[in-house]
Amino acid sequence: MGNHLLFLSTFNKKSKMSQHNSFKTASGSGKKNRTVLKRFERVDLLKKRSQWKEGDRVVGLKKTEPEA
């Protein structure tokens, strides 16, 4: 049992996990670009584009491209 604990403490001190490149942010840019909008953001965007009427359903909204 003592060897098991020694192995775990040694393993935790020496090993470091690397992060995959796809999870890292681009250097220099502080803002993360999202391509998917939340429902309330889509409704606001559709209102701005005059494609939303009061009383329309929020389920099954049209696909919307985020503003640039």
**Predicted pLDDT at 18:** 80
CA distance 28 to 19: 18
From 32, 29, 40, select the one nearest 64 (Cα to Cα): 40
CA distance 31 to 63: 23
Tell the residue number behind the tokens 């919307």, with chain if given.
Answer: 64
**Predicted pLDDT at 62:** 83
**Predicted pLDDT at 34:** 76
CA distance 43 to 49: 10
From 33, 64, 58, select the one nearest 46 (Cα to Cα): 64
Q: Which residues of the chain have pLDDT under 50?
A: none
**Predicted pLDDT at 4:** 57
